[in-house]
Amino acid sequence: KLVQMVCKPSSQAMTQPNPNMTEDELKVGMNILGKKRTKTWHRGTLVAINPVGNGVFKYKVKFDKGKSLLSGNHVAFDYNPTLESLYVGARVVARYKDGNLVWLYAGIVAEMPNNKNRMRFLIFFDDGYASYVTLPELYPVCRPLKRTWEDIEDASCRDFIEEYITAYPSRPMVLLKVGQIIKTEWEGTWWKSKVEEVDGSLVKILFLDDKRSEWIYRGSTRLEPMFNLKMTTANAQEKKLAGQQRTRPNMGALRSKGPVVQYTSDCHVGASPVKSPQAPPTQPSPSPQHQQPQQPQQPQQPQQPQHTPPPAQPPQPPRLDGRILSPPNTPTSLFTQQFQRQLPSLPPGPPAITHAMASIPHQPSYRAPTDRIFYLVHTCQPACLNRVRPAIPDMHRGKNPLLTPLLYDFRRMTGRRKVNRKMSFHVIYKAPCGLCLRNMAEIQHYLFQTRCDFIFLEMFCLDPYVLVDRPFQPQRPFYYIPDITSGKEDIPLSCVNEIDSTAPPQVAYSKERIPEGGVSINTSADFLVGCDCTDGCRDKSKCSCHQLTLQATGCTPGGQINSSAGYLHKRLEECLPTGIYECNKRCKCCAQMCTNRLVQHGLQVRLQLFKTQNKGWGIRCLDDVAKGSFVCIYAGKILTDDFADKEGLEMGDEYFANLDHIESVENFKEGYESEAHCSDSEGSGVDDKDSKSEEESDSSDDTFVKENYYSSSSVWRSYTTRGQVKGNKEGELLSNQTSRLWAERLSKDLRGLYRKFQDCVSLTVSGLSGVTKKQVAVKSTRGIALKTSHGLMVKTGASGGGGDNTPSKNTRLFFDGEESCYIIDAKLEGNLGRYLNHSCSPNLFVQNVFVDTHDLRFPWVAFFASKRIRAGTELTWDYNYEVGSVEGKVLLCCCGSTECRGRLL
C-alpha cells in the first residue's frame, strides 16, 4: 500500500505537492526549527510573526542563544510530516548522524520509499551530500518556495536539483556491482576506485590509493560514466548552437566492460515500455506472397498504446513490428504504399505451413554407436578415412555442424580428472582409425594428414559444456516456414511463430552485399595480397594473409604487434579492432583445408527466425554454439552517407549499420580507448570476486544450465555522502626471415594508411565525448565501443599551445577526399543479420573481416559468439546507441537483461 501511495499517475504529479493538502498553521509560542548562519538547523520557539507585504511574513525565532528573523522557507515544523504531504522535490529538514553527533540539514526529497530502497527516503542536502533517511527523521519546511531548488545557495547544486526534478522519474545512474573498478573524482583528480557496496541509488566507493571510502549517489558526475554522459550532452548542445556540421552519433557494436549508465524510472511511470498487443490469428493462406505485405519491424521499439479505439474497418493482417503507426500522409506511409506496389516483383517465397496444416517435422536424436574402436599403431594417412569418406559431398549439410564428425564415425568422449583437488571435465575425440585426439592442434594435424575435405576444424569443440546433440524443438507453432531464404543460404533458415499466425515481413533475401548508386567496390584479384601456403596456412609466420592481420595490430596503442591475433583453430575468442584478413581468391592454399578461411564459407550453424513477445522478430540458435564460433554476417544495400540520410528520414533508420572501420582504428590507435575490452561476455565492469569455475558445473542436459577531461559552459554538481572511513595511503621470433621481410613489405602500405597524418589528428572535447544531434540512428560495425563520434573530426577550438585550427585529417580522406563512412541498409533487402535484436548483455560481438577486397572502407561485418550459447537462446548484439544522440527520438530497451540500461535512444 505504501508503494501504491507513493506512485503518482504522472511524472508531473510525482514532483508536485498534493493539491488536497492544506498548509499547517504557524502560531506564536509553538516549537519550530530555524536555520542559522552555520547552515545547520536548530530548535527554537516562534515568538512573533511580522508581515512584510504581499501576503509574505517573517518569523522571529528564539533559540537557546539569540534570536533570528527568518523567512518562511527557513523555518520548519518540529514534527514529522505525513506521507501524503511528501513528494519528489519536497523541501525538508533531515537528520544526519556522524558518529555520536546528530545534525539537521535542509534538503529535498529525491526518492520516495519503495521496495528497491527498503522503504526509505533519499535526501539531497543543500551542500551536495546525499543520504537515505526514514520518515521519523524528516521535518517539513513551513513555507517552501514553489521552485524548491531556488532555495539552494550553491549554484552547481541548484542546477543539479533543477535538472533532476525536471527529468524525474527518468534518472540516469551508473549500473554498478560489488568488486567493480571505476574512476571517481575527488578534489579535481580522477582516482582509481573500487565498488565496496551498493545500497539502492547510493554506492560505497573505496579509493585504492589511500584506502579512503565514501558513499556517492550513482547519478553523480563524480563517477566517470556519468561525467562522460554529461559532457556529451553539453558539447552536443554547444555544437548545435554554434551551427557546426553534424556528424552521425557514435554507436559502437560492443561496449567496454566498464560501467555503463542505466536509465531507471521509479514505479515505471511515464517510461515503461508497452508490450505490443497480440494480434488475432489470421486465415491461413497458401503462400506468403499472396498476403498483404508487412512493413519490416524495428527491433526493440515498443508499440505505443492507442488512446481512442479506432473505428470499425475491414479486417487486415496484424502488424508484426510493434512500430508506431504513421498518419496516412506521412512520408513513411507513402513509402509503405510504394513498397507494397513493388512487392509483387519480388521472387515468390517458400510455402507457409500453418497450425491447422502440419507441425514442424521432428528429427530423430543421434544415437552413439555402442561398439568399440581399437587403435593399432600406424601412421595416419588418407586411407584412415576411406570407410567413412562420403560419395556425395555435403551429405549431412543442414544438420548441427558440431554433430557432423560423429555422423562420420568420430567418437566424442567426456572424461573427468582432478586438477588442484577439483574435479574437472575434458573432451577427447577418437578418430575412425582409433587415434585419440586430445586437443585442437592434434585434430587439426589429423585432418591435414588424412586430407579430410568433408569434415572441418570448426566442427570440433572441446568445451565439455557444449553438447552436440541437444537440438531445440519449438512448441507447435501457429506459423512455420522451412526455409525463408528459398535455398539462398547453404543452411536452411526456418521461421516459426508461436504467438500468432502472422507472417514475417517480406524482404528480398540476399546473403551478399549490394552496392547502390555512388558505391564502387573493387574486388579485382589484382588489388589483393595472396599467399602461397601448402600447409593449410597453419604457420602464421609464412602466410601473407596472416601477416596482414598481425601487422595491422601494430596500429593499436603502443605499436606492439600481437603475434597471436586472428583465428585460433577456427575460433575468434575476442574482437580484433584492426580487422582480420582472410585468405582470398588469389591465394594458392586449399580452400577446404585453410585455417584462415571462415567467414567466407557462409552460414554454418543452424538458426531460426521466431516471433518474440515484445521485440518483433528475432534469431535463435537451434543447437549449442561454442564461444568464438562464427554465426553470420550483416548484409544489405551499401549506401553513401548522403543517400542514407535521405532514406533514413523517409523510410526509417532501424536497419542502418555504419562501415566505420577506419574511424574505429584511427581513434583506437590514438589511445582513446586503451582501457576498452572487446567482449561483453563478462558483463559490465571488473569483478574482483572469483566466479564459480566452469569445471565445477555439471555437463548434463538437465543441469547445464579516460585520462583527459575538458571544461564546459555547464558544470553539474556531484552528490556524495558525508560518511567517510579514515585510513592510510597506499615478440615472438619468426622462423622464416625471408618470408617475414616480404610480408612486412606487403603490409607496409596498409600500415602507412593507418599511421599517416597521425600528428595532424587533434581532437577536442567535441571529438572525445561529444555526440552531435542527428535525425537518423545508425548501428556501428566497430568491434569496440569508442568514446568519439565517427566521421571527419573538426576542431572547435585552439589546441594546447599552437592555436592551429586546421581541420583534422583521417585516412578516409585519401580515398578521393571522402569524409563520411558508408552505410549498410537491410530494410528492404538483406540477410538474417537484420533480425538480430539488441541486448545490454549480448552474446555476439562484431568483427570486421576482409575477404573479397582489402579496401579499408568495405569490410565484411561478421558476428561471433562472445560466450557459450545454449540451444534455443536468442542471439543478440549491443547496438550501442548513444542516448539522446537522435533529436526528438526516444527508444526504450526491452532486452530484459539484469544489466539493462533502460533506453537505447
CATH number assigned to the domain comprising residue 247: 2.30.30.140
In Å, how far are 358, 511, 559, 576, 857 from 632, measured between CA atoms?
Answer: 29, 10, 31, 17, 20
Q: Write down the pLDDT at residue 266.
A: 61
Lowest mean per-residue pLDDT among 280-284, 586-590, 777-781 = 280-284
Same domain? 145 vs 231: no
Q: Give me the half-sphere count of Cα atoms (radius 13 Å) on the Cβ side of residue 439.
A: 2
Q: Give me the half-sphere count of Cα atoms (radius 13 Å) on the Cβ side of residue 563.
A: 9
Give the three-class secondary structure for 864: strand
Q: Cα-Cα-Cα-Cα dihedral of 224, 226, 230, 231, to 10°?
A: 20
Q: What is the mean pLDDT of residues 796-823?
A: 61
Structural domain contains residue 164: yes
| Element of type H or E holding 193 | strand 189-199
255 confidence band (pLDDT: 50, 70, 90): low
| Helix axis angle, 737-746 to 748-755, nearest 10° | 50
Full residue range of the structural domain in which residue 134 is found: 2-168
Q: What is the pLDDT of residues 842-875, one digit of tens each?
A: 999 999 999 999 999 999 999 999 999 999 999 9
Q: What is the mean pLDDT of residues 137-158?
A: 91
pLDDT > 70 in the chain, percent: 70
Same domain? 135 vs 239: no
Q: What is the pLDDT of residues 877-902, one digit of tens each?
A: 998 777 777 777 788 888 888 888 88
Structural domain contains residue 713: yes
Structural domain contains residue 58: yes
Same domain? 11 vs 116: yes
Contact call for residues 456 and 568 (beta carbons, < 8 A): no
Q: Which residues pair with 186 in a beta bridge?
A: 189
Same domain? 205 vs 57: no
CB atoms within 10 A of CB 622: 19
Residue 274 has pLDDT above 50, yes or no: no
277 confidence band (pLDDT: 50, 70, 90): very low
Contact call for residues 646 and 656 (beta carbons, < 8 A): no
Q: Write down the pLDDT at residue 12.
A: 58
Q: Write down the pLDDT at residue 353.
A: 61
Structural domain contains residue 821: no
Closest alpha carbon to 843 in 621, 597, 665, 609: 621
Give the three-class secondary structure for 429: strand
Q: Write down the pLDDT at residue 748.
A: 54
Contact call for residues 899 and 879 (beta carbons, < 8 A): no
Name residue 278's amino acid: Q
786 confidence band (pLDDT: 50, 70, 90): very low
Residues 426 and 421: their CA atoms lie apart, in Å, by 15
Which residue, of 419, 438, 459, is where some domain finishes? 459
Same domain? 218 vs 235: yes
Q: What is the mean pLDDT of residues 42-68?
A: 91
Residue 168 has pLDDT above 50, yes or no: yes
Name residue 110's amino acid: A
Closest alpha carbon to 842 in 863, 866, 862, 861: 866
Lowest mean per-residue pLDDT among 250-254, 562-566, 587-591, 758-762 = 758-762
Contact call for residues 128 and 718 (beta carbons, < 8 A): yes
CATH at 391:
3.30.890
Q: Cα 897 from chain centroid?
A: 11
Contact call for residues 124 and 164 (beta carbons, < 8 A): yes
Structural domain contains residue 17: yes
Same domain? 14 vs 163: yes
C-alpha cell at 244: 557546426
| Helix axis angle, 748-755 to 661-669, nearest 10° | 70
Which residue, of 145, 168, 191, is where some domain finishes? 168
Lowest mean per-residue pLDDT among 2-6, 528-532, 823-827, 832-836 = 2-6
pLDDT > 90 in the chain, percent: 45
Same domain? 15 vs 130: yes
Q: What is the pLDDT of residues 554-569, one digit of tens each?
A: 887 778 899 999 999 9
User: Phi and psi for 784 in degrees, rounded to 5?
Assistant: -135, 165
Same domain? 51 vs 152: yes
Q: What does pTM read for this prediction?
A: 0.66
Structural domain contains residue 242: yes
Residues 676 and 30: their CA atoms lie apart, in Å, by 61
Q: What is the mean pLDDT of residues 597-620?
A: 94
Q: Write down the pLDDT at residue 263.
A: 79
Closest alpha carbon to 497 in 398, 624, 607, 354: 354
Residues 193 and 224: their CA atoms lie apart, in Å, by 11
Q: Write down the pLDDT at residue 895.
A: 87
Q: What is the pLDDT of residues 289-342, one digit of tens each?
A: 333 334 344 444 444 444 444 444 433 333 333 333 333 343 334 334 444 444
- Computed over every residue of the chain, the mean pLDDT equals 76
Same domain? 50 vs 194: no
Same domain? 115 vs 204: no
| Element of type H or E holding 132 | strand 130-133
Structural domain contains residue 455: yes
User: Phi and psi for 663 in degrees, rounded to 5?
Assistant: -65, -35
| Element of type H or E holding 577 | none
Same domain? 77 vs 177: no
Ranges assigned E (strand) in 612-698: 617-621, 630-633, 636-639, 656-659
**Number of folded domains in the chain?**
3
Which residue, of 393, 427, 459, is where some domain finishes? 459
Pairing state between β 580-581 and 607-611: unpaired
**Number of residues that make up the chain:** 905
Structural domain contains residue 654: no
Residues 734 and 714: their CA atoms lie apart, in Å, by 54
Q: What is the pLDDT of residues 656-713, one digit of tens each?
A: 888 888 888 877 765 444 444 433 434 434 444 444 444 444 444 333 333 333 333 3
Residue 743 has pLDDT above 60, yes or no: no
Q: What is the 3 state secondary structure string of 178-217?
A: CCCEEEEEECCEEEEEEEEEEECCEEEEEECCCCCEEEEE
Same domain? 411 vs 455: yes
